[in-house]
Chains A and B, each alone.
Chain A
């Protein structure tokens, strides 16, 4: 998990309160796999103290992008970054999504809110492997929807201002019927409650499902034990989100 100093290339607003930060990272970019994250020091000061984890949104040969919204002081500082500012990154971290999996030929990407962040990179790699990709994106309203660089997208909004009126899991239940006969695997990312509902729906539908989880992290590299995820397997009660995840087989998690 090497450290990188990455100059900011650009900061773009892509939806209401949602930004894409592009960082020059030639050493890092080619090494990132879909679902992995980077742990970013948002400034040189000791406040905020800890690094902030972000999924890698997209990569080019020499740059990475992260997609984020402002939820607190760290993300507010990121939203003030300008071209040339240098950020200190640790990565790539965590276990990527399992794309080389013979059980499926159609990937169903299910994203809730900022859970759309890892999906563009995941899409590129899936298409590269010859898999079919369908993407379900849920957001609060039309202004918060992010659908850039995705494939075959269907949207859902809580207020019905765009696409399906309801949450993305309800949309998943509706879409699942159309996928009958296809060998499908779900890749989901979003808030905990949405992942839980997705995992339960997948189990009911008999579709394999991987989730990318989020929650507080201390170090992001497996040394603080601060990020437990409770497992179903009683003999091995917790996994570490940063090191054993953030992607997990949905069936392994005690929801």
Chain B
């Protein structure tokens, strides 16, 4: 909750299942480490929540360099899910994270459905975890590397199998690299997901014309940052109209007004990603700016902005010709 100048407050807290969030801004997976790295630059207790870097069963080295390149208004990354693995996370990071008053969402990545289950099972034994976000933008080794997140049946299966193993809130993080994200949001909701996170990075590419070589070692990578915000807004709009569960909006948010736009498009809350690289305290700042915006607009309860887009004059391209 944020104090208004008049002494009353803008209601910004919310909950999803058993998880309570102080405000509507979380930091996105892969853009804030494991939550313990930036504590001298930002008070993470002021965040709505922290989503950890994706964790797999075994530590992953990640891809060879170069892994990142800046593009106009954004960046491409091909980190390759470099992470310390769930065992080290539990041993080295959880003791600290349990001492901080912040809602902790642990993000899981895997290359088989069984691995998703096994990682979640290990985390189930840990106190201080408020929920899971499942990164399904991962190659399925059993299906020749086909991305789980671009296949509706796989999305359903992962959600079903994980739902059966946990009562903690389960967010399925969707990829925008599909034709109809609404189908994937429905698949997750139908199998009992508590929320969908929209969206992961867009596939993109950068080329050095002089050397005729791709800049990233993996040729293509994931685009993030302000450049993707319009796409993310449209994906949130599409997904939120297809399901009743909350949608967490992600993509290119750098300030409070960006975040409010996501609420209007249908998001219950947002995550701030790439902006953390410019300003490690970006998440806290965005939350504060959302509260100021509400104050200025005389909105006393932020939830009234969710899906409050006034689209009367517009005909959505979701239903019509471009």
Q: Which A positions have Cβ atoms within 8 angstroms of B?
A: 1-3, 41, 46-51, 90, 215-219, 221-230, 237-238
Secondary structure class of chain B's binding surface, majority of residues: loop
Contact flag A41-B68 (CB < 8 Å), given A224-B31, A224-B77: no
In-complex Cβ contact of B68 among A1, A46, A90, A218 (8 A) = A218
- The answer to whether B41 touches A1 (Cβ under 8 A) is yes
Question: Is B40 engaged at the interface, CB distance under 8 Å to the other chain?
Answer: yes
- The answer to whether B278 touches A51 (Cβ under 8 A) is yes
* Chain B residues, Cβ within 8 Å of A49: 70, 73-75, 225-226, 274, 278
Q: Which of these binds chain A: B59-67, B190-198, B313-321?
A: B59-67
Q: Give A219's nearest chain B residue, CB to CB.
A: B277
User: Size band of the B side of the interface?
Assistant: 35 or more
Task: State A120–B61 Cα separation when bound (angstroms).
Answer: 36
* Chain B residues, Cβ within 8 Å of A226: 67-68, 77, 79
Task: State A218–B226 Cα separation when bound (angstroms).
Answer: 15
Task: State A11–B65 Cα separation when bound (angstroms).
Answer: 34
Please indicate which of the listed interface residues B33, B70, B74, B226 has the most CB atoms of chain A within 10 Å of its own CB: B70
- The answer to whether A224 touches B277 (Cβ under 8 A) is yes
Q: Give B72's nearest chain A residue, CB to CB.
A: A47
Closest CB-CB distance, A225 to chain B, in whole Å? Answer: 4
Give the tally of cross-chain contacts (CB within 8 A): 96
Q: Which residues 206-257 in B have Cβ within 8 Å of A in the complex?
A: 225-226, 254
- The answer to whether A41 touches B278 (Cβ under 8 A) is yes
Contact flag A48-B41 (CB < 8 Å), given A3-B281, A219-B276: no
Task: State A87–B82 Cα separation when bound (angstroms).
Answer: 32
- The answer to whether A228 touches B65 (Cβ under 8 A) is yes
Task: State A216–B221 Cα separation when bound (angstroms).
Answer: 15
Interface string of B268-311 (1 = CB under 8 A from A): 00000010111111000000000000000000000000000000
- The answer to whether B33 touches A223 (Cβ under 8 A) is yes
